[in-house]
Structure formats: C-alpha cells, structure tokens
A and B are shown apart, each in its own frame.
Chain A
Amino acid sequence: MTAVLEAEGLGKRYGRRWALRECTLTIPSGHVVGLVGPNGAGKSTLLNLAVGLLAPTQGKLRVFGNVPAKDPDQLARVGFVAQDTPTYASLSVADHLKLGSRLNPKWDSALAESRIKQLGLDPHQKAGKLSGGQRAQLALTLAIAKRPEILILDEPVASLDPLARREFLQILMETVAEHDVSVVLSSHLVADIERVCDYLVVLVSSRVQLTGELEDLLATHHRLIGPRIESDATIENQCVIEASHTDRQSTVLVRSDGPVLDRAWTIEPVSLEDLVLAYMGQGKNDERGTSSKAQE
C-alpha cells in the first residue's frame, strides 16, 4: 500500500494562531478518503497544504513523495476543487474549458466537453451567472479533465442544496469508477462521506483520532447495552470509546479487540454517524484534559 499523502508533525500558523499543529497522517492510495472533523479542526488547512496553496510553518508534507506544487509535473498530478468552488465570473463555461486545455498538459478535452453536455451547461454562459451547483460542477469538471492521479476536494458540497449535493457526489463517484484516481474529500457531513467514501480519517484539533477503511471500522465497533457499570470500569477484550449511563443501564461504544465475553451485554451495530461523533467527542475530551493539565 503506497501513500498518496504523508504528513509528519505538520503545522501551519497564521500570526499567533495555529490552524494546524503537529499533524501526522498517512493516506493510502486507491481510496476515496473522507476527511471529517468539526469546524476548525484543520481540514481545509491540511488540504490547502497538500495542493501547495499554503506552505507549512513546520513539519513535512509529501504528496506522491514530493513537495506539493514544486513544479508543473507535480501540479499536473493533483486535481483540486477549492472551497466555494471559485471560477472566473467574467469567463464563459467554454472559456474555462479552454483555460484547462491551455494550462494542463494531460487535459482530456473529450471528457470535459461530454461532461458539460451531460450537465446541460450552456458553453456560452458566463460562470458568474451559474448557480452554486453548476459552478461546483464546472470546477469539478476542470479538476477531473486535468486527469490527475489524486483529486482533492475541500468541502465541495458545503454550499449546495441537497439535490445538487447528491448530483455532485454521484458524478464524482462515476468519475472515480471510470478513471483510476484517488480522492480525498473533506466534509463535516457524515452522510456525504458515507455515500461516497471507503476510507475514513477523523481529524479533531489537528490530531488524527481515527483512520481506516470504512468497512473495517464499522465491523470492529459495537454498541453494548447492559446493566449499569461504574463509569471508569473496563470491559474485558474491549476498548471503550464512549460510555453513557442511566440509573439502571449503561450504553458503551467499544472498539472490539476480541469477542465480547461478558454475556450481560446486548451487542448492537453502530452507525457511522455515531462512530464519528464518538471519536470527535473523545478528541474534545483529550483536548480538555491536556489544557487542564497545562493549567496545573
């Protein structure tokens, strides 16, 4: 398994504020990777660093083993759809395709044109007059027709309505199936991730809380419901991620390192949403723990 993206102790500071700090992460190739995390976790900063729009303040980041955006070759290997999907308002759809063909050596103009036709976009329309969904589609078309080896999308559907969002992700999936391309997609909506991704990275305050193939993660995590236990109790063979207690019963989300031995527990599968939220909560607790320690 080769890595498309490797970060080591990566940090980015704006003035005195750290947008990303001490981030260490490896993303394997051949996946559609969902990068989730709360607002301000550093998702966007990480992706902008990966395409070379930002330069790291500290640490190291490699994409295909190279410094991002170091030369035209490296730029050609990475497709990027930025947040809010910027396009030139005064340039037409056709102009944007021409821009793509002039600025990218591996440009696939047949692909670009058929995508525009399929989307029903008028080539003569100015990009400034497109709807948010159409603009996102245009930006995606530019990134895909560039024929990159990795496609990086920074919250591409954040500003889209549910229908446009579904369409966008649909087309993204078709592209991935058709062309051999790795995808890294950030979102704070777990439903989007669930629809398209097969690999998950949960990022909370620059720290990777959870990473792995979606199927494995769902298969190894369970919700256990049983009689009330002490809040700091451990369960044999299980790693407790999150526990909540009522007077009489406890609900525990665990990562199973082996079969559940205690017959008192009822085992239920866990949804991706619950899984992500549990790890995000854990990340927040860790953070509080360290900050309170720092105060002492």
Chain B
Amino acid sequence: MIWLAWRQFRAQTYVVLGLLVVMAVAFALTGPHLVHLYDTTVATCGAHNDCSSVQTSFLHHDRILQGSNFLLLLGPALLGIFWGAPLIARELESGTYRLAWSQSVTRSRWIVTKFCLVGLLSMIATGLLSFMVTWWSSPIDRLRDNPFGLFDERDIVPVAYVLFALALGTVLGALIRRTLPAMFATLAGYVAVRFAFTEWIRVRFAPLLHTIVRFQAPGQNVTSGQGLPSNPGDWIVSANTVNASGKIVGHFGGIGPNGEVNFRGTESGATYFVGVGKCPNKIPAPPVGSRGNVSSPPPAVQHAIQKCINSFHLRSILSYQPTSRYWMFQWYELTIFIVMALLLASVAWWWVRRRLS
C-alpha cells in the first residue's frame, strides 16, 4: 500500500523537492554574505553614529528572498489544498476508490497509509523550508528584534500548521466528495483557524504581564507608546492610559483612540487637556504657531504641562508577553495544531471506514 501511496504522490513530491533545492541554493549563495554584512555594518554602526541609515540599507538587502516569509505563510495552506483535499475526494470523484477498495487491503489501511505518507512528506518539506528561512533570515530578524511578529513563519510551528492543513483537507474531501469545493473549503477553514490563533488565541497561552507607570507628557522620553518601558522583542498587546478611577481614557500611551496628547487654550486663558479635562494651572503660551500638538516646547511650558497632567493622576499600563516566552508559545501552538490535526485525521479515518458506503 505504501507503494501505491508513494506512486500517486511521487510527481508532486519531486516538484516540491525541486523548489526546496532551488531555495536552498539561493539561500546558500546569499546567506553568508548577509551575515558578513551584518557583522561589518550593523554590528559596528554604533561607532560611526550612522545606525539608522545602515540599518535601513541592510533591511533592503535581498528583498526577493525576504519574500520567503510569505512562502512559509502560504506553503502549509497550499499543501493542505493541493495534497490534502484531493487525497480522498479525487478517488471518490473519479471512481478509482472502487478499484483501490477491491484490492486485498482494508479501507482503514488504505487511508492510514496514504495520510501518513503525505503527512510525513509535507512535514519534512515544511520543516526544511522553515529551517532554511529561519537560518537565512537570522541577521535580519536580529536587527528587527520582533520574534512574535514573525511567530508563524519561523522555527517549528509551520510543521504543525501543514499537518493541520492536510488533515483538514482530507476530512473535508471525504465529507464533500468533490475535489474543487473541498479545496475552497480547506482554504477558508485553514485561514479562519490560523487567523483566530494569531489574533485571539495565541495571546491567551499565558497571562499577560503588565507594567504600570505614571503617565508622562510627550517630549519627556514618552512618544506614543513606544517610550513606555519594555524590552525590545516583547509582544506589546496593549498600551492603555487609565485615569484615577481606573477607566481607560486612551491608547498607545496617549489619550483617545489614536493616542494623541493635545492641549487646547481658550479665550479666557484656561487650557484644556483634550479628552481629560481643564488644567488646574496656567500654561504659558507656547511659541508662535503651535497651539495644538506639542512636540518640543521650551522647558517652562513642559514643566507646566507635566504639572497639569500629574493633577489628573493618569497611569500608563503596558500589557505584554515577554520575549522569553517565545519558545514556550512555539511549543504550545505546535502541540495544539498537531492535536487538532490528529483529531481531524481520526474523523476522516472513521468516515472512510464507516460512513462512505
């Protein structure tokens, strides 16, 4: 039975293998140069004080190969659609299942062998791709320092994604019995589940950590959220501004939905902290032209502004997942997707054995 399963997937496997070899060659040719470039420019830029331009030019290197991130995002879905969905559906559609099931091999063994072989092949292929991309991108990732931003395109989770996509395709193919509709259903289902994990579920793997600081005016190290104390590489989930009674009055380290810090003067000479209230103190008129957004006012004005802000007892609350949890989250997500894949595969197995008749 392994022979038949392999014979049916031989051509597709060679295509995928060919693509992997091409990518491996491209990575092998450019990877060492990228590391060298990092060591000679980015790592030493501090000495020359031109870091931002060096970093920008470094990030613009090999943009096409940086597209391999996209390939890792797409790869598992494609394998689920083109390998998983037709696994049973095509046999049902073309009637060849009647040939296969009247050989001296039980249906149970037929589906288990097919699924295991294709599952293994796609996990190996995705694993290799993820390994190559993770290795090649490591200098760029080190510079970007945003591991959670590339969480599902790096390391081990893609291997679980592909098994899940494959199992989803297999079971939908068995239920729908038509290849094309099964492919669309697989795409929709896979995207929905992955989206749910990326947007809502992953962040709940562990309780958020919070950093609470006194709200500070912009210009004093605080510019729209990023200035809040956090380690680079942390996954910032929210940066809220809370008033004295605990009510959220703003986001991104400022006030209101866009996290701005604005002051508005009135004719009577009073100044309003926009979105919060009237300042108890007087604020000296800022230099010509800037009545609204405060960027870099003189020290006297800054001091008055801070005094006004302090009077409202505002706090900034930063909620985040620390970068140290990255690997724990990778293992969590890997486990969950593999368990879901095995459950779906069991449904497909049961359906083929009992229900397809």
Interface residues of chain A, those whose CB is within 8 Å of chain B, are 51-55, 69, 71-73, 75-76, 78-80, 82, 84, 86-91, 95, 98-100, 102-106, 139, 142-143, 146
Would you give the shortest CB distance from A94 to chain B, in whole angstroms? 11
Q: Which residues of A contact B1 (CB under 8 A)?
A: 102-103
Q: Does B268 contact A (CB under 8 A)?
A: no
Closest to B110 in A: A103
Q: Contact: A86 with B98, CB < 8 Å?
A: yes
**8 Å CB interface, B122-164 against A:** none
Q: Contact: B7 with A91, CB < 8 Å?
A: yes
Q: Does B49 contact A (CB under 8 A)?
A: no
Cα(A80)–Cα(B102), bound, Å: 6
Q: Contact: A86 with B94, CB < 8 Å?
A: yes
Query: Which of A51, A76, A82, A88 meets B104, CB within 8 Å?
Result: A76
Q: Does B3 contact A (CB under 8 A)?
A: yes
Q: Contact: A103 with B7, CB < 8 Å?
A: no
Q: Which residues of B contact A71 (CB under 8 A)?
A: 106
Which of B4, B99, B102 has the most chain A CB atoms inside 10 A of its CB?
B102
Q: Which residues of A contact B3 (CB under 8 A)?
A: 98-99, 102
Q: Contact: B98 with A99, CB < 8 Å?
A: no
Q: Contact: A146 with B103, CB < 8 Å?
A: yes
Q: Contact: B103 with A99, CB < 8 Å?
A: yes
Q: Contact: A75 with B105, CB < 8 Å?
A: yes
Would you give the shortest CB distance from B188 to chain A, in whole angstroms? 26
Query: Which of B4, B106, B354 meets A69, CB within 8 Å?
Result: B106
Contact flags B241-278 to A (C-beta < 8 A → 1, else 0): 00000000000000000000000000000000000000
Q: Does B101 contact A (CB under 8 A)?
A: yes
Give how many A-B residue pairs fall within 8 Å (CB-CB): 73
Query: A55-B357, A76-B104, A103-B1 are contacts. A86–B99 as well, Cβ < 8 Å?
Result: yes
Q: Contact: B105 with A82, CB < 8 Å?
A: no
**8 Å CB interface, B1-60 against A:** 1, 3-4, 7-8, 11
Q: Does B231 contact A (CB under 8 A)?
A: no
Closest to B11 in A: A90
Q: Which residues of B contact A76 (CB under 8 A)?
A: 104
Interface residues of chain B, those whose CB is within 8 Å of chain A, are 1, 3-4, 7-8, 11, 94-96, 98-99, 101-107, 354, 357
Which of A75, A103, A139, A146 has the most chain B CB atoms inside 10 A of its CB?
A103
Cα(A78)–Cα(B101), bound, Å: 11
Would you give the shortest CB distance from A292 to chain B, in whole angstroms? 35
Would you give the shortest CB distance from B1 to chain A, in whole angstroms? 6
Inter-chain pairs besides A75-B103, A98-B3, 13 sampled, C-beta below 8 Å: A51-B102, A52-B101, A53-B102, A53-B357, A54-B357, A55-B354, A72-B106, A75-B102, A80-B102, A87-B99, A89-B94, A99-B7, A104-B103
Cα(A90)–Cα(B96), bound, Å: 11
Q: Contact: B96 with A53, CB < 8 Å?
A: no
Q: Which residues of A contact B96 (CB under 8 A)?
A: 86-88
Closest to A128 in B: B94
Q: Contact: A82 with B99, CB < 8 Å?
A: yes
Closest to B94 in A: A86
Which of A75, A79, A146 has the most chain B CB atoms inside 10 A of its CB?
A75
Would you give the shortest CB distance from A258 to chain B, in whole angstroms? 46
